[in-house]
Amino acid sequence: MNVKTLASASLFAVLGFAAVAANASSTSINDASVMQYRYGDHLDVKRVLSVKDDHSNACGPVNTRMDYLDSKGQKESVEYRSYATSGCHDN
């Protein structure tokens, strides 16, 4: 095996691990039926029931889930990325 083949195999392995890690960080907090928010989506929110982060003591981008009631009284959930700051400061 020459150096070029070894370098290519190493590159593909690293990219594969990065893809798996990216997929793991973008999975839903608890439920696959949660809508993934995209910038510009219009939400019909009448009342917010709860907002939860997937990491309670994080510093940086985290998955956040909001459960809410729409104008018809139906319970809905949406997940989006937010910036957690609770773990950013040493006490």
The answer to whether the CB of 69 falls within 8 A of the CB of 75 is: yes
pLDDT at 69: 95
- pTM surpassing 0.75? no
CA angle 60, 27, 45 (to 5 degrees): 80
Architecture of domain 3-84: Roll (2.30)
Closest CA to 79 of 62, 66, 91, 60: 66
pLDDT tens, position by position, for the chain (91 residues)?
576 665 666 655 655 544 444 444 444 455 667 889 888 889 999 999 999 887 767 788 989 999 999 999 999 999 999 988 877 876 5
